[in-house]
């Protein structure tokens, strides 16, 4: 089956530093990937849609200069949280839509970010 991985699975960083999270589709090509954020006891909130070879589309209220997204290949998208602050601490989840299959998304296991 289609597998999506994320790296790292968890990260602790100091306030003011930047953190990069990778999302990879392991056995399929993904033209489109999505990035979500989930706070404790809340639902997933879509942050942005990442399309290979083009700029990401951000949801309203998400700062594109703070959450940099790069989808450089059909199997890799990265999310960089720049100048992280404690309020950025959250569970970040990516998903990938397999090229040619429009109705299913495969989710990664998530990355737990803690900013101290």
Partner 1 sequence: DAKTTQPNSMESNEEEPVHLPCNHSTISGTDYIHWYRQLPSQGPEYVIHGLTSNVNNRMASLAIAEDRKSSTLILHRATLRDAAVYYCILTCIPGGYQKVTFGIGTKLQVIP
Binding site for partner 1 (CB under 8 A): 4, 6, 31-32, 34, 36, 43-46, 49, 91, 93-95, 97, 102-110, 112
Residue 31: how many other CB atoms lie within 10 Å: 16
Taking the complex as a whole, the smallest distance from the CB of residue 34 to partner 1 amounts, in Å, to 6
Report how far Cα 60 is from the mean position of its chain's Cα atoms. 16
Taking the complex as a whole, the smallest distance from the CB of residue 27 to partner 1 amounts, in Å, to 15
Give 46 or 82: the residue with its C-beta nearer to partner 1: 46
Give 14 or 41: the residue with its C-beta nearer to partner 1: 41
Taking the complex as a whole, the smallest distance from the CB of residue 31 to partner 1 amounts, in Å, to 7
Are 48 and 34 in contact by the 8 Å Cβ rule? The answer is yes
Residues 6+ apart with CB under 8 A from 26: 3, 4, 5, 75
Residues 6+ apart with CB under 8 A from 16: 83, 84, 85
């Amino acid at each position: 089956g289609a597998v999506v991985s994320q790296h790292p699975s968890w990260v602790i960083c100091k306030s003011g530093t930047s953190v990069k999270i990778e999302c990879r589709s392991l056995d399929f090509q993904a033209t489109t990937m999505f990035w979500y954020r989930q706070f404790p006891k809340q639902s997933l909130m879509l942050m942005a849609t990442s399309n290979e070879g083009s700029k990401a589309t951000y949801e309203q209220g998400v700062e594109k200069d703070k959450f940099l997204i790069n989808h450089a290949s059909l199997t890799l998208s990265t999310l960089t949280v720049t100048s992280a602050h404690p309020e950025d601490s959250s569970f970040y989840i990516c998903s990938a839509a397999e090229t040619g299959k429009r109705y299913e998304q495969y989710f990664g296991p998530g990355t737990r970010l803690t900013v101290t």
